[in-house]
Every structure is written in structure tokens, then in C-alpha cells.
Homo-oligomer: A and B are copies of this chain.
């Protein structure tokens, strides 16, 4: 009955969007933030990635990348890392909310 719920609406395929997770090299290319720095932010708990199995590589989704872009922007604006992290938290809460609503239909 619904064997083609994709492809109809390329705009709204949140299901697929969620699954689009990329490696750290790609994230670095996309955001312009060096891999080393991304790992550092992660150490400090500001950014989060996940691993698909034991002893594998970091994966980042759409929202994590957004977050990295936000942090970068704030740093460029002169905030400290900690201050940027705090500011970004609020922002991400809102984005996540919108995202959630949209992907719930």
C-alpha cells in the first residue's frame, strides 16, 4: 500500500535525512573546521558524534553539522568556546524541536 513513500516528496524525506550520516573528513570539508578541532570540541562535550559499532569511526548527522557550524560562527564572533557552547545549546533546543515536529509530519 505504501511501497513508495520516498521519491514523491524530496523536500520532506526526513527519514532519509536522519540516516544521512557522514564521516569526520566530510564534516571537516563541509564546515571548514579541522578534524582535529572537531575531535577536541567533542572531548569537551560540546559536539557529539556516535559510532555504529565497537571500535569504528565517528558519524555525524545533519543536526550535528549544524551545531558545528553554529559554534564556529560564534567563535568567529569572539565568544569563548564555553560561551559559544552555552549559546548553541539553546539554539539547538529550538532547532531540534522544529525538526521533530516536521519529521513527525
Contacts and interface: CB of A to CB of B under 8 A. Distances in A.
A65 B102 contact: no
A20 B62 contact: yes
Given A21-B22, A23-B23, A29-B52, A10 B73 contact: no
Contacts of A6: 66, 69-70
A17 interface: yes
Interface residues of A, number: 31
Interface stretch (A40-48, A78-86, A91-99): A91-99
B62 A99 contact: no
> How would you classify the secondary structure of chain A's contact residues: helix, strand, loop or mixed?
helix
Interface in A30-79: 30, 52, 59, 62-63, 65-66, 69-70, 73
B10 A65 contact: no
A104 interface: no
A99 B21 contact: no
Contacts of A21: 22, 26
